[in-house]
Structures are given as structure tokens and as C-alpha cells.
Chains A and B, each alone.
Chain A
Amino acid sequence: MILPEADELLAPVMAIDGFRLGCLIDGSTGMVLASLGSQNGPASPTAAAGAADVINVLNLLNGRLATGEHLEDVMVTFSDSFFMVRPVRRDQRPPILLLVIMDRQRTNLAMAHRSIRDFCASFTS
């Protein structure tokens, strides 16, 4: 993470049951700004890069479809974990993405979704 001072920003998402890793990512460059996770958790550079790629592809799709919609968040389900990626704020420049990886067995997905949405909304401008 390139802004180590910003790690503490992620403290609230650690409270999510089953939390494994949280990252703030500059979506325009793929740079990891801050990350917080357990010692044995996923590697943040790879996870963050994958999250930025997913958002990039979906933005390309959105650009092609030209429906006038905007991307709110992305949820990915693996056999053991959930990945959730959400732009911290719509129309934020540069776009900052929040990635949270959670243990599938210990996470209530609906509650986690709500927590992540509230966390993003809690950022004051």
C-alpha cells in the first residue's frame, strides 16, 4: 500500500464477520492505496489488481451498452470466500475502489453488503 497512513481508514470494515482482507484501490491506475488483513489472508496486490480488472471490464461493458447506468458494486462468490468491490463514491475522481474479501462460512452476505455500503457512505466529502 502506497499510503500506509490510510490503513486505519479501513478499520470499520474489519468488524464484518468473516473479514479477511480490505483494500482501497485507485481504480484508474490499479495502485493499492491502503490494505488491512490477516497474516494468512490473500495477497493484497493480486486481489486488488483483480478487483481493478473486474471494474475495468465492467466499465468497458457499460460504455459499450451505453444505458446511462453506473456501476454500484460487484459481488463474486468463490467456494470459500466472497469478494465485494465497490466504488467508494460515484463520480469520485480519481475513482477509489473498496475491496473486501470475506470468509463465506462466517459471513452473512446481506449484512456485509449493508456494512460495506454504509462504510462507503460514511466518507465525508
Chain B
Amino acid sequence: MSQVTRRTRVRRLADSVWPGRAVDGYANLIAARLRKLAAAESTGMLPVSGRGDGAIFFRRGQVVYAESSRTPSPDKRTVGLAALGLVPEDDAREAAVGAPTAGAQLLPLPSLRQLTSMLALTEPTIDAITELLSNESRYAKFRQSDLPPVAQMGPIPVEMALAEVERRRQVLRQLAPIVAADTPVVRDAARESPSFQVSAPQWALLIRVGDGTTPRALAMSLGQSVFGTMIEIYRLLALGLLAVPGHPSVPGHPSVPGHPSALGGRLDRPGGGRRPGTVMSFMRAVADAGGGDERGSDA
């Protein structure tokens, strides 16, 4: 009988598939599974369960769609490449049923509208994968040939999707001391500055923030990505227009080791609401995700 426990074997497997990365619970196991499906050029659906249920859909080893019960889905009435005018109707029909076809190439993208339409399909998928690759998630048996409930977006290589998910996780780690997807936020009535200028999306969030609304609930109600909503919420916190209530002030001076603001994490105000002590940085997230050293690889 083997002296190595099953848990150890699983962790070693994850290490072997994702070398150089610290084992991070089951998220790496799902990433390893995605890589195997990519290597096998699989077509079908990988169900994932955990804090929320969801699935990742593949077509010939590339991700074409994903959804999670904890992130908004694209509007099924309007999505679909044919609806967006990105592929000829016949090709779109073939793509939707997963039939291999040499003609299913995307047409050139002449307009900003089509670019944003592609993004409208891709963002919910990346948002869902980010949620599904949490440490609490588990994957089930891969179902060959199961198709997405909507016409899929342009295929994304698994490595590219995982790199983006890892970047987002690093951004979320930066936000975590201040706000998480399920942290209640409130409008800050005690703001000191006489006037502010906010963008339209920020205004849409501000007018919807009630008592204890969470970024995830706001994202769901607006049909926007949870990740993008969290960043806008963070910016509103930085402007002092929102606050995270109910957190007692941390005693001591910021220079005291271990004080959150000394760690660049947060500043606690006398009123108790947390506000960012540092500016969230995408570049730091890229560096932490190890994505900054791929010099010229994506040219």
C-alpha cells in the first residue's frame, strides 16, 4: 500500500501541471484539468461546483463559454456571433452545434461596436472562470459534446484565459483588505469635499447602493461583470463616495508593524468606514501573477 496520502498525490499532480506555482487548493486542480482538456482538444462541458455552480465549455480544446451562478451571464436573447454580425449566419449555425468547419473564421472587425460586442461575450466568460477557479470549487466529469446554451464567443486558448484569471486574482488580492465581492458598502454621507466628478458607470452604481448592498448584487442587477464592478466600487471608495461600514477603527499608528495601512492595505477613519490607503495597481497584479516576463511572446 502506498505511503503517500491521496491528498499529497493530488497536490503533487497539481505541482507537476503548474510548475513554479504554489499549490493553491483546488483552483490549481481545476486549472490542471483545463490544461488537459486543451491538450486533448476536447469539445464539451466541464461542470464545476462549489460556492456556486457553473460550467466551462470547450470547443476543440479552447474555451468558448463559461457561466457561474455567482456572476451575471450574457443576455441570451442578444448574444451570438451572428446576432452581432461577426460571422456569416451559416457559419454561426455550424459553430453553435460544434461542427468543425473550415469556414467558421471571424470576419474582420471594422467597428468599435463589434469590438465591444465581442468583449460583451468574453467578459462574462472570464468573470465566470475567475469565480469558478476559487479554492472551494470542484470539477465533475467532463461531458463530451455538451454545447453552450448560447452561441459562443471567439475561442480563447486555455493558457490565455488562465493568465487573465490569475491577473484578476492578484487584483482581487489587492482589493481584499478593503472590499470583496460580498462586502456590504454604503454611500458615505460624511464626505468632506464639496464636489466630485464621476463616470456614468460609477453614477449607476452610486444611485443603486442601498443599505448594505454588495458589489456582487450590484453587478447582478446591472448585468455587469463582478470583477469590473468591484474595481469601480473600489474607485468610489477611494473618492470617499462609498464606505465599508461596521469596521471598528484599528488602534495604533500606521507605522506600527502589522497595522493595515502600514501594509499598504487600508486606512481606517474615525467614523469606522474603510477607505483605500493605496491605489490599486494593474501593473503590480501583472507582476505578482508572473505575467510581466513574457517579453515579446505575444507579439
Q: Which of A26, A42, A67 has the most CB of B within 10 A?
A: A26
Partner of B231, one of A28, A37, A42: A28
Q: Which residues of B contact A5 (CB under 8 A)?
A: 106, 109, 118, 154
User: Residue-by-residue, is A62-102 near B (CB-CB < 8 Å gives 1, otherwise 0)?
Assistant: 11111110000000000000000000110111101000000
The answer, yes or no, to whether B167 is at the interface (CB within 8 Å) is: yes
The answer to whether A66 touches B112 (Cβ under 8 A) is no
- Say if the beta carbon of A18 comes within 8 Å of chain B: no
Residues of B within 8 A of A64 (CB): 193, 196, 239
Find residues 1-38 in chain A having any chain B CB closer than 8 Å to their own CB. Answer: 1-6, 8-9, 21, 24, 26, 28-31, 33, 35-38
Chain A residue with the shortest CB-CB distance to B201 = A93
Of A2, A29, A53, A56, which one neighbours B160 at CB under 8 angstroms?
Answer: A2
* Count, chain B residues at interface, CB 8 A: 56
Complex interface residues of chain B between 129 and 174 (CB less than 8 A to chain A): 154, 156, 160-161, 163-164, 167-168, 171
Give B262-299 as 1s and 0s: 1 = Cβ < 8 Å from A's Cβ atoms. Answer: 00000000000000000111110111000111111111
Q: Is the CB of B294 within 8 A of A89?
A: no
| A124 to B: closest C-beta gap in Å | 4
Contact A6 B118 (CB under 8 A): yes
Asked if B126 is at the interface of the complex by the 8 Å CB criterion, the answer is yes
Q: Is the CB of B296 within 8 A of A49?
A: no
A36: min CB distance to chain B, Å: 7
B161 neighbours in A (Cβ, 8 Å): 2
Asked if B112 and A123 sit within 8 Å, CB to CB, the answer is: yes
A8 contacts B200, CB within 8 Å?
no
B299 contacts A49, C-beta separation under 8 Å: no
A8 CB contacts on chain B under 8 angstroms:
108-109
**Contact of A110 with B by CB under 8 A:** no
B118 touches A63 (CB 8 A): no
Enumerate chain A residues within 8 angstroms of B287, measured Cβ to Cβ.
Answer: 46
Would you call A125 and B109 a contact (CB within 8 A)? no
Contacts A124-B112, A125-B111 hold; do A2 and B292 have CB atoms under 8 A apart? no
With the chains together, A44 CA to B164 CA distance in Å? Answer: 13
Contacts of B225 in A (CB 8 A): 29
Partner of B171, one of A30, A43, A92: A30
Does B195 reach chain A (CB closer than 8 Å)? Answer: yes
**Known A3-B118, A35-B299: A46·B123 in contact at CB below 8 Å:** no
* Interface pair B116/A1, CB less than 8 Å apart: no
Smallest Cβ-Cβ distance to A89: which chain B residue: B112
A59 within 8 A of B: yes
Interface residue from B113, B228, B297, B298 paired with A94 (Cβ < 8 Å): B228
A46 engages B279 (CB within 8 Å): no
| A26 shortest CB reach to chain B, Å | 6
- Whether A63 lies near B115 (C-beta < 8 A) is no
Q: Say how far A16's CB is from chain B's closest CB, in angstroms.
A: 16
Do A1 and B112 touch (CB < 8 A)?
no
A49 and B286 within 8 A (CB)? yes
Q: 8 nearest interchain CB pairs?
A: A30-B282, A49-B282, A123-B112, A49-B283, A46-B292, A66-B197, A66-B195, A49-B286
List 26 A-B residue pairs with CB atoms under 8 Å apart, sorted by A's residue number.
A2-B122, A5-B118, A5-B154, A6-B109, A6-B115, A9-B109, A21-B299, A29-B168, A30-B171, A30-B285, A33-B119, A43-B293, A43-B294, A45-B291, A45-B294, A46-B286, A53-B281, A56-B279, A56-B280, A63-B235, A63-B239, A64-B196, A94-B116, A96-B116, A124-B110, A125-B111
